[in-house]
A and B are shown apart, each in its own frame.
Chain A
Amino acid sequence: MSGQRTRPRLRFGAPRIDMSHGAGGKATHKLIEGLLLPALENPALTPLSDAAVLPFGEARLALTTDSFVVRPLSFPGGSIGELAVNGTVNDLAVSGATPLALSSALIVEEGLATEVLEREVGAMAAAAERARVAIATGDTKVVERGKGDGLYVITTGVGVADPELELSATSVRPGDRILCSGTLGDHGAAILIARGDLELEADILSDTRPLTPLVEALKGAAGPALRFMRDPTRGGVGTVLNELARDSGLGVVLWEERIPIREVVQGACEILGIDPLYVANEGKLLAVVAPEVADAALEALRSVEGGEEAEIIGEMKEEPARMVVMHTGFGGTRMIDMLVGDPLPRIC
């Protein structure tokens, strides 16, 4: 036999990609684990964290990339340009890394009004300044009319990982507390309403913001007792906590009464039959810390702008292993499973 590496056979199954493969739930996982991971497997990719950690001399670099395809391009509380910077900065931040620089690729649809592009590039510049990170390189492509939704933005970020932190699901221990930096579902609900498919009006703003100040506060309060962080974007808190339960082998127990959700977001979700736990967030983080530092970590989060409504929402348990359950405010218990596809509204 030659010394050539044999590629594992790809077993994905579905004959075509449909929208559920991009929704962040089970179908997305199948795509990643059945096709992308076996084809591209390497030690940096395999942990499938928000950013890959690459050894570089004495240091460790964190590298991440994300594409932004939101419709409409601007919405209450934010716009695609701001989102594209904050999203990538946040993937670095929750990996415990300090952002160094970003690259950005703009895919512009023929016919887009120049003023929209000016507005969005301006939003990128302002967001980069706020997050104290430079957009150091980039690329621009124009595609024919009808081949894009006006503007897609792809950003890649590189940062320096904190040498003191070992953030991963496998670092998490039974008894650890789960913190959430603020109200859930604001971004996803704002987008749903901004799309105008629903004749609903509600005062909901996207929560897009850089998480770096919150992460710094947490690191200061918890130090090495900070075990895990993620930003619950697409797929929401339900999906992140299911990944945590699966990868840690532990159970996640949530306390419904402690989970901060704005009444207006809860109301919009009730009308649509969508669970806010699966709705996307853009400026929130979930963290797992050792129990002895939980109260200090909470206080630290609450002292920072954007973290005022932080809560301890649950804890890690030995049982039920690899599952997420919630004690309902009503006194019962329910399971929170991973989202199947897009959250689809119920009919009645």
Chain B
Amino acid sequence: MKYSREFRNADLARAVAAEIAAITDPKRHYKIMEVCGGHTHTIYRHGIKDLLPEQIELVHGPGCPVCVLPMGRVDDGIRIAERPEVIFTCFGDMMRVPGSKGNLIEMKAEGADIRMVYSPLDALRLARENPEREVVFFAIGFETTAPSTALTLKRAKKEGIENFSVFCNHVNIIPPVRALLESPDLRLDAFIGPGHVSTVIGCRPYEFMAADYGTPCVVAGFEPLDILQSILMIMRQLAEGRCEVENQYSRVVPWEGNLQALEAMAEVFELRPYFEWRGLGFIAQSALKISEAYSYFDAEIRYETPGVRVADPKACQCGEVLKGVLKPHQCRVFGTACTPEHPLGALMVSSEGACAAYYNFGRKTGERVGARR
């Protein structure tokens, strides 16, 4: 924590904020999208918006893996979880994601054996410890979490563990970003790139943003000063008329990524031709499935997963929020029919979802409340 405290130094933050303000053109409006849910969470948790000039608008992108999982896939997961022979394992924030007939917490209360794990390796350990049961891991996440699933499957194969399988819902970051850049109703000035994803894929895959779309991108870390610094780097590019991909998170992110992780992913996964995203619809080659060589561990083959498409509730405007067309509080059901307690839409589910972050941290009566003692 001593290490992270350095990235939360208020004096330094004020200095960076002052520099940002100094190069902000008062006559111009800036729209910057942070792609990653982790960034959205940090921005709200530390009140970063309060430090920025009003000309800078932060738009929250589609980078929360829990939020973008479509309802039909949640239903398929629940269907597997309900099988009496199955121990169904998933990450904590998957437990509240609504399927069409309920969520995993409710299914657990009805008797399904659903257990929260902190890593896919914990799920594999459960399989070793319960040889008479079938252990299924509900894999979700971008390139950040996909390598750990890949390495777990490699280990399961090496150890010959037969009662283990993975319901794979891993997704890729680049296709939805490209879809957003193609979207006519969204005009973005720049992107804050997802740092955790880049620890795996590096910075090179974002170069098309600057080259093909003229949109700068700065790959950023997750501490509040990381985000402020990346905004300053973006503002400098815009002020100087540059358009590049830059790496603010170089203490963690190598430009070329993590080759070992990429190799493991290439061995264990292959691209799906299409995958549905909540709020964004179908996007080509945007998700991973388990490769032929590891198909023994594919829960979609082992169990019946009809893959029925379930439409999101009509009132939800998640798609517009994901694309930055609406702010969370501008959605017609925000905070009324849709709350973290009873999320209708995807973005209200995980604490990294834009609506949940806004609801939990940002919703208040005034921008400045009370004076410091």
Contacts and interface: CB of A to CB of B under 8 A. Distances in A.
Interface of A: 16-20, 26-27, 197-198, 251, 253, 255, 263-264, 266-267, 270, 272-273, 312, 315, 317, 319-321, 323, 325, 327-335, 337, 340-341, 344-348
B366 A320 contact: yes
B308 interface: no
A253 B370 contact: yes
A198 B121 CA distance: 11
A270 B2 CA distance: 13
Given A251-B369, A253-B370, A344 B108 contact: no
B364 A325 contact: yes
Interface of B: 1-2, 4, 8, 10, 13-14, 17, 38, 41, 44-51, 65-66, 91-96, 105-106, 108-110, 116-118, 122, 140-142, 144-145, 196, 224, 340-341, 350-352, 359-370, 372-373
B362 A335 contact: yes
A125 to B, nearest CB: 36
B47 A331 contact: yes
Nearest to A333: B47
B360 A337 contact: yes
Given A330-B10, A331-B13, A16 B48 contact: no
A18 B108 contact: yes
A104 to B, nearest CB: 29
Given A27-B341, A330-B224, A315 B93 contact: no
A255 B46 contact: no
23 contacts: A16-B106, A17-B109, A18-B109, A197-B122, A198-B118, A270-B1, A315-B370, A315-B373, A319-B366, A319-B369, A323-B365, A327-B370, A330-B8, A331-B14, A332-B48, A332-B50, A333-B367, A337-B360, A344-B95, A346-B93, A347-B93, A348-B38, A348-B145
Contacts of B91: 345-347
4 tightest Cβ-Cβ pairs between the two chains A and B: A332-B47, A344-B92, A18-B109, A332-B50
A346 B116 CA distance: 11
Nearest to A254: B370
Contacts of B351: 273, 346
A331 B364 contact: no
A133 B171 CA distance: 59
Given A323-B364, A332-B46, A348-B144, A16 B110 contact: yes
A17 B111 CA distance: 12
Which of A329, A332, A341 is packed against the most chain B CB atoms within 10 Å?
Answer: A332
Contact of A348 (B196, B341, B365, B372): B196
Contacts of B141: 347-348
Nearest to B12: A330
A246 B224 CA distance: 30
B66 A347 contact: yes
Nearest to A345: B92
Contacts of A17: 109
Contacts of A323: 364-365
A334 B362 contact: yes
Nearest to A13: B342
A267 B373 CA distance: 27
Contacts of B2: 263
